A and B are shown apart, each in its own frame.
Chain A
Amino acid sequence: MSTPARTPRRSGIRGGEAASGWLFTAPMIILLGMFLVIPVLMALWVSFSDWNGRGSPFSGTVSFVGLDNYSALVGGGGLAEQDFGTALRNNAWYVLLVVPIQTMLSLLLAVLVNRQILRGRGFFRTAFYFPSVTSSVAITVLWLFLFSASGAVNKLLAFIGINGPNWFNDPSGVLHNFLGLIGVETGPAALTGNTFLGISFWEWLAGPSVAMSAFILMAVFTTSGTFMLLFIAALQNLSGDVVEAAMMDGANGWQRFWRVTLPQLRPTLFTVLTLGLIGAWQVFDQIYTGTQGGPGKTTLTPAYLSYQAAFTNQAWGQGAAIAFILFVIIVVFTLFQRWLLAERQVSARRMRPYQPQPTSGGSK
């Protein structure tokens, strides 16, 4: 009713709207254009050039080198390729562990805290969320202390008889260490002999280093609270009807969670996984503050490597190239994830409310 009534008025009373529209959005357009769009284009040019940081990247002395910067990273056979491979390896393990763990933990926290009968809900939420508001620098400083050789974490481990590692100085891969426990010290020739991005497959499979594991724990510690809030908001928006219906049909708590609640949380799950994935590929602050890539380059990440290449080694083209490869990686992962979850979302939604209960109960 109201829409057709409003539409003709728009051109009359709202005559100056176009002008105000552009005026209102102009600061945003200028700021984002100046400090986001144009910079990205400039960096794209730099990634194809041999600019060494002196003078303007657009001056005559800077020349176009095509894909040289990129090919040095993905097939140059030199140190650049090796460092890039190492950084990707480190960050891939980081993502592989951080994203699932933080998602599961935050969902668990949300479900626990969201109980209606729970006393002190506010206290628990505050406790779990607080690490998320602190800066990554402050948390890293704290982590360096807690995980130092004779620090609190190792003291705690000593209580249960474990001789803790020298966390931030231990470059050994966690998976390699586990294999070492069962006597496997070197990998088969098929793995050690062949390389990808300058790193042998055996090294790819080293797992995160002990130092990186401390960062992984830190990421889980600091982000689970934020994602818990997203899950809580989603849980509160669920209508109780479906759960009640499932209850009447005799589903127990476990079944209700997996078959009823979780499918309804799929959109939030997607958000959390995507945000987690994007964040986890951008590890920078922690490395800059804590380890600068060490020990043994096992906490090097593409983001930090990009910074280091440009600002420390003055290899600006290479640094920019790393940033763009990282960009592509993040976009590809996000799209892949969207595709994966979207597919399932349709089928689950089709299944969930409409199918008669006996069928869905008997199917599994």
Chain B
Amino acid sequence: MSTPTKTRVRSASPSRRLRALSREQLPTPAIAGRSLLYAILVVLAIIYIAPFLVQVATSFKTDGDAASNPMSLVPQTWSTAAYEKLFLNSDFPVWFQNSAIVTVFVTLGRVFFNSLAGYALARLHFRGRNVIFALLIAVMSVPGVVLLIPKFLVINQLGIYDTYVGMIVPLLTDAAGVFIMKNFFESIPASVEEQARIDGAGTFRVFWSIVLPMARPALVTIIILSFQGSWNELSHFIVATQSPELTTLTKGVASLASGQLSQGTQYPLKLAAAAIMTIPVAVMFFIFQKRIMNTTDGAVKE
């Protein structure tokens, strides 16, 4: 009962209130409700965004400033010391390069292999298809963390431990991605490919020049997921590599966090490293924002 009163107080001009009422047909409680909704959303948005603002601000602070003013969004004295140290006096560029290499290959591999397998499972009729699909579902339910030791065992056994091959090849396909592609291919009409088939195109040709171009929405989903997945991957690289030349950003920054390369806390340095490693996924996110926000549409709908 208190809400209508509050609104009446807030919207001081009665004529404006009347106009709003007549235009939108909203009773006063609805206006109060809407203000409340905005208030809640704004507070929540601040909670979600503030940590990142603090992060960027702190990366430009001096160590002492970061320790004494952890909340301020403006450095007392602007300092790029953290970034200089990262790029000129540490392995950070190497980490970045390794992450980039792995991400590019893994993303390309997944786009190709996932769509290839997804197409076969959705469209081609062959004995054993259902068995493969059932196995795929089973494989999908294996939690990744359980695979830490197993992956190391097989990578070690194959002699690809501590190599780019060991870092990239095991990630080249993922069950969930195949599943997404299969769902997508099932949702596009078969008539187009039938036509091409009758015209005498081979299976791979039909797939490559007719079906794949039609699958762009789903492919974008795969690109986003694999880019993000391989850029942010940590555990696989922990078990697949040990040498400093093959350290990725995730592994390198994790070692920074636990105190390597630094005396004292050195928060600006760590936060600068974390901020830089966020930039590529953030850029990716803003490029494909519309698609990400409708990811499930792209993957499941028509």
A complexed with B: yes
Knowing A24-B119, A112-B37, A137-B257, say if A29 contacts B132 (CB, 8 Å).
yes
Chain A residues with Cβ below 8 Å from B273 are 141
Tell me which of A170-178, A204-212, A306-314, A341-349 binds B.
A306-314
Query: Is A324 an interface residue, CB under 8 A from the partner?
Result: yes
Query: Within 8 Å CB of A142, what residues of B?
Result: 51-52, 54-55, 271, 274
Measured CA separation A233–B142 after assembly (Å): 26
- Check A42 for interface membership: any CB of B closer than 8 A: yes
B256 lies within 8 A of chain A by Cβ: yes
B250 close to A137 (CB less than 8 A): yes
Chain A residues within an 8 Å CB radius of B232: 134-137
B 125-178 contacts with A by CB, 8 A: 125-129, 132, 136, 139, 141-155, 157-158, 169-170, 172-173, 175, 178
Q: For A109, give the chain B residue with the smallest CB separation.
A: B44
Are A316 and B149 in touch, CB under 8 angstroms? yes
Report the separation of the CA atoms of residues A124 and B48 in the bound assembly, to the nearest whole angstrom.
10
What is the distance, in angstroms, from B200's C-beta to the closest C-beta of chain A?
A: 9
Residues of chain B within 8 A of A316, CB atoms compared: 149
Q: Is the CB of B120 within 8 A of A150?
A: no
When the two chains form their complex, are residues A31 and B113 in contact, meaning their CB atoms are under 8 A apart? yes
Contact indicator A229/B295 (Cβ below 8 Å):
yes
Contacts of B267 in A (CB 8 A): 145, 148
Q: Are B49 and A127 in contact (CB under 8 A)?
A: yes
The residues of B that contact A146 with a CB separation of less than 8 Å are 51, 54, 70
Binding stretch for chain B, among A77-85, A183-191, A283-291, A350-358: A283-291
Q: How far is the CA of A123 from the CA of B67 in the complex (A)?
A: 32
Q: B residues within 8 A CB of A140?
A: 254, 257
How far does the alpha carbon of A314 sit from the alpha carbon of B58 in the complex, in Å? Answer: 40
The answer, among A125, A131, A152, A323, for a CB contact under 8 Å with B54, is A152
Check if B154 sits within 8 Å of A35, measured CB to CB.
Answer: yes
B interface size (C-beta, 8 A): 98
Among residues 310 to 364 in chain A, which have CB atoms less than 8 Å away from a CB atom of chain B? 310-311, 316, 319-320, 323-324, 326-327, 330-331, 334
A36, B139: Cβ atoms closer than 8 Å: yes
Interface segment among A14-22, A95-103, A192-200, A240-248: the answer is A14-22
* Cβ–Cβ < 8 Å partners of B113 in chain A: 27-28, 31
Which residues on B sit within 8 Å (CB–CB) of A225? 48
CA distance A115 to B273 in the complex (A): 38
Q: In the complex, which of the residues A17, A25, A109, A327 contacts B203, with contact meaning CB atoms closer than 8 Å?
A: A17
B residues within 8 A CB of A257? none
Counting CB contacts under 8 A, is B228 at the interface? yes
* A45 nearest CB neighbor, chain B only: B153
Q: Is the CB of B49 within 8 A of A306?
A: no
- Asked if residues B145 and A43 are in contact (CB atoms below 8 Å), the reply is no
Of chain A, the residue at the smallest CB distance from B299 is A233
Which residues of the partner chain B approach A34 to less than 8 Å between Cβ atoms? Answer: 154, 158, 170
Whether a CB of chain A sits under 8 angstroms from the CB of B101 is: no
- Say yes or no for B71: interface residue by CB 8 A criterion: yes
Do A31 and B173 form a contact, CB below 8 Å, given A17-B124, A24-B117, A303-B145? yes
**Contact between A124 and B45, CB atoms less than 8 A apart:** yes
Number of A-B residue pairs, CB cutoff 8 Å, is 279
Within 8 A of B (CB), among A220-245: 221, 225, 229-230, 232-233
Task: Answer yes or no: B253 CB below 8 A from chain A CBs.
Answer: yes
B80 located at the interface, meaning its Cβ lies under 8 Å from any Cβ of chain A in the complex: no
Q: Is the CB of A57 within 8 A of B153?
A: yes
Interface string of A40-59 (1 = CB under 8 A from B): 10110010000000001100
The complex places the Cα of A326 from the Cα of B275 at a distance, in Å, of 33
Q: Is A215's CB within 8 Å of the partner chain B? A: no
* Selected interface stretch from B8-16, B85-93, B213-221, B233-241: B233-241
Q: Is the Cβ of A292 less than 8 Å from the Cβ of B143?
A: no
Q: Is B108 interfacial (CB 8 A cutoff)?
A: no
Q: B60 an interface residue at 8 Å Cβ cutoff?
A: no
Chain B contact residues, majority secondary structure: helix
State how many angstroms separate the Cβ of A20 from the closest Cβ of chain B: 4
A63 at the interface (CB under 8 A from B): no
Q: If A130-B49, A131-B48, A327-B142 touch, does A42 touch B150 (CB 8 Å cutoff)? A: yes
Query: For the complex, is B296 an interface residue (Cβ under 8 Å from A)?
Result: yes
Contact, CB under 8 Å: A113 / B239 = no
**Which chain A residues border B3 with CB–CB below 8 Å?**
none
Kindly state whether residue B277 has any CB partner on chain A within 8 Å: yes
Interface centre among A16, A25, A115 (most CB of B within 10 A): A25
In the bound complex, residues from chain A placing their C-beta under 8 Å from that of B203 are 16-17, 20, 24
Q: Given A28-B178, A124-B41: A306 and B149 within 8 A (CB)?
A: yes
Given contact pairs A14-B197, A109-B44, A145 touches B296 in the complex (Cβ within 8 A): no
Find B153's partner among A14, A24, A43, A145 (CB 8 Å cutoff): A43
Which residue in B58, B124, B249, B253 is a CB contact (below 8 Å) of A20? B124
User: Which chain B positions have C-beta within 8 A of A94?
Assistant: none
Out of B144, B253, B265, which one reaches A138, CB within 8 Å? B253
What are 10 A-B contacts defined by CB distance under 8 Å? A32-B175, A112-B40, A112-B41, A136-B234, A137-B249, A137-B250, A152-B54, A233-B295, A289-B253, A316-B149
B residues in contact (CB < 8 Å) with A: 34, 37, 40-41, 44-45, 48-49, 51-52, 54-55, 58, 66-68, 70-71, 113-114, 116-117, 119-121, 124-129, 132, 136, 139, 141-155, 157-158, 169-170, 172-173, 175, 178, 190, 194, 197-198, 203-204, 207, 228, 231-232, 234-235, 238-239, 249-250, 253-254, 256-258, 265, 267, 270-271, 273-275, 277-278, 281-282, 284-285, 289, 292-297
Q: 12 other contacts beyond A142-B52, A221-B48, with CB at 8 A cut-off? A: A28-B116, A43-B150, A46-B149, A130-B282, A133-B282, A133-B285, A138-B253, A138-B274, A142-B51, A142-B54, A284-B235, A326-B145
Residues of A within 8 A of B (CB): 6, 10, 13-14, 16-22, 24-25, 27-29, 31-32, 34-40, 42-43, 46, 56-57, 109, 112-113, 115, 117-118, 122-131, 133-142, 144-146, 148, 150-152, 155-156, 221, 225, 229-230, 232-233, 278, 281-282, 284-285, 288-290, 292, 303, 306-307, 310-311, 316, 319-320, 323-324, 326-327, 330-331, 334
